[in-house]
Amino acid sequence: MSGGTQGRRRDAARSRELLLTAASELFAERGFDRTTIRDIGERAGVDPALIARYFGSKTLLYVAALHAEQGDVTPADLFDEQRLHEVLDRTDRRGPVPLLQVAVQPLSDPGAQDAARAALHTRLVEPLRERFAREGADRPSLRAELVVAAVTGVLLGRHSGAFDELARADSGDLVELLRSTLLRED
């Protein structure tokens, strides 16, 4: 009997993982509002009703996907060259993720909106605000939001189809240009 229980637990853990992976991919591709529970279940290859069982709702699954992507590590700020490369490369691979999209358009679900906004601030704004505060910069919170908004605009613009040079630019060149532009001293 315990072998059957263990098999179900293993299947439950696997189903949960498949749903989380599928949701992360679809939220990145389509955004929160255009991703359905049915789409997530189909991509995961499991019954979409399991979303309610394992996560409670699409919104809570979205929150879980944001947390899974973030992990437990405090990220470096965007002035860190490696961090900026990671953000740019991730956006190039996956497109503008909901974390960036929430910076320019609110999500329809208030819970998802709050989770995405909190993740945006935790991952991108707060590390910069802390850096600016340490350096004694004037208005560190505003400066941090300004830099994140600028980088977000570049990342979204790169995938919008409106900026040919930006879309074709080498990611290394973009990192260099962003850092040299945004790191100018007062």
The 10s digit of each residue's pLDDT in 31-49 is 888 899 999 999 999 999 9
Name the phi and psi angles at 137, rounded to 5: -70, 145
The 10s digit of each residue's pLDDT in 37-82 is 999 999 999 999 999 999 988 988 988 887 787 666 778 899 888 9
Contact 123, 75 (CB under 8 A): yes
- The larger pLDDT score, comparing residue 31 to residue 143, is at 143
93, 133, 161 from 84: Cα distances, Å: 14, 20, 22
| DSSP state, residue 78 | T
What burial class does residue 108 get, using C-beta atoms within 10 Å of its C-beta: 0-12 exposed, 13-18 middle, 19+ buried?
A: exposed
Structural domains in the chain, sorted by start: 2-67 (1.10.10.60), 73-182 (no CATH)
Angle at 91 between CA 174 and CA 87, to 5 degrees: 65
Kindly give the interhelix angle for 81-94 and 171-182, rounded to the nearest 10 degrees: 130
The per-residue DSSP string of 31-86 comes to -STT--HHHHHHHHTS-TTHHHHHTSSHHHHHHHHHHHHH-SSPPPPTTSHHHHHH
Distance, in Å, from the CA atom of 77 to the CA atom of 8, rounded to the nearest integer, reads: 42
| DSSP state, residue 118 | H
